[in-house]
Structure 1
């Protein structure tokens, strides 16, 4: 992978464009970095307006993308606005030629509009994931990963996840040392663990007067350290276990014990962020009993271990 094409059009995000330039620009001063040729391609004869007021005249037209080893599509400011057909046709031609394509953040919408994500697993910024899935039901949208791809088509989550994907593509083509050298020059980590789940805010659900189970949930949230069972919760609601489990699932969308585990993890997240309590004590307060029990549930829900999460967010 020597020649990388960056596709630009009106409304692309300046940050994503800058990331592509930082990773693949030809900087011989970066010790251990491969030599790349970065081609900035766009509709011919036009001055492209980036989000934020910046402008850029493409170095080459859309046809130049067909002679690249990789094509990267930055995110766009307005993903609901369909790109010009000539841009989508260019992406289809690149894909038909067998050239790998990668999109950053909301750039996934361009690939989806071109039909390149149908039947594929893809991601985008977690805030836009539901919209992408709604507009393109044939796309298998995964809102939790930082990036995903099958070797031909790649998509990444928002903002910094674009850096993760670009470094991954360098690592796959040129090895770990090359990716590490570029990451070092950018003063960033060559690899980040976990996924988007650690960045998605999940508020505690509000209790409403017309919800007959809100009192049960409030009691549980006030005593997460208690070893609750479905039987105890049903007795609080003065219902049979079967009726309670069915009604609870209808109300919250998840079974009682799964909801309880999620609330315990959310409480542990807040304590890891806001306090200096030892992880073992946090585990006890949140109902896990010990750090050994907390770790798998926390990692499964958030994507990283409790101690790693604290180091990131404290």
Structure 2
């Protein structure tokens, strides 16, 4: 018996959010025809639905006309999601279908559509790392976690950005049919069955608020440009011409994190850049980023990105021919 998967799209959706999970479910069906999936794509209106990259998909059944039980309702994301939050036909259609679905899932910022439909209230959820702060601010009833590739909370599954839809779909196949089939699907698609680390490893910046006062902005730039300097609180307070106590209070108030925490993040980012563009040994990377020893470098990477420096380098180092 094939499980019915309904995938919800809209004008401006992310094509990979649809194609990635669809290929996982489709490959599972090829490998195990008696335990596969039946896929249906729906939108508010039938006909051609353009993705934001200009390619299109065809919808045969409008969301209002989908009836009967649904095994998995999967809502994709895309750059147009903010414009779709006020589309009551879409939001109410998602809420209605969720009522008859065994489970509900979203890819990337499709989580906003689930939240707008009231499906994430009181649940732990994730989305693309760039949008987790906005999701938490807009929907305070949602427990937002910005690191996992995907999260399962009861019958609701949410995932990080774009390619994380593949990770999510593999997890759904494993939950339905066991590890062996999910592994075979992953091998066939040449992807990880369980991707190491969380999505924070893909973040392009260790985010902190830019101070509103010019002296602190200059000091923040100094920290980022001089990772091996003396960046202790007493030294930074002297550069800012403030007492240590006053400096710590003002810096934390204007950036959202303490001076010590900011220095560690800045040095971690410097180490990450060195791992990406050089082949230097880890102890040299640790010294040049201000972290001192390779043991400290390892601890900082595990704390911020949940992978080792060596794993990070293997994934993200620029290859020079």
> When the two structures are superposed, what TM-score results if normalisation uses the length of structure 2?
0.84
Aligned match of 1:7: 7
Does 2:194 match 1:191?
A: yes
Does 2:261 match 1:271?
A: no
Residue 245 (structure 1) shift = 1.2
Deviations 1:2-47 (A, max 9, x none): 41322334323332221232111266653x6873132305369821
Alpha-carbon RMSD: 3.1
Aligned match of 2:260: 257
CA distance in 2, matches of 1:112, 1:245: 37
Aligned match of 1:229: 232
Report SS of the residue matched to 1:25.
Answer: helix
Structure-2 change in CA distance of 1:95 and 1:233 (3 Å): same
Residue 54 (structure 1) shift = 1.3
Residue 269 (structure 1) shift = 0.5
Tell me how many residue pairs correspond in the alignment. 313
CA distance in 2, matches of 1:173, 1:140: 26
Aligned match of 1:72: 74
Q: 1:66–1:94: 8 Å Cα contact kept in structure 2?
A: no
Aligned match of 1:110: 113
CA distance in 2, matches of 1:253, 1:33: 53
Structure-2 change in CA distance of 1:218 and 1:159 (3 Å): closer
Deviates more, 1:244-253 or 1:37-46: 37-46
Deviates more, 1:207-216 or 1:61-70: 207-216
CA distance in 2, matches of 1:89, 1:243: 51
Residue 94 (structure 1) shift = 4.0
Deviates more, 1:176-185 or 1:38-47: 38-47
Report SS of the residue matched to 1:268.
Answer: helix
Aligned match of 1:39: 39
For structure 1, list consecutive stretches of 5 or more residues without a partner in the other structure: none
> When the two structures are superposed, what TM-score results if normalisation uses the length of structure 1?
0.86
Structure-2 change in CA distance of 1:243 and 1:265 (3 Å): same
CA distance in 2, matches of 1:256, 1:208: 12
Report SS of the residue matched to 1:261.
Answer: helix
Structure-2 change in CA distance of 1:55 and 1:280 (3 Å): same
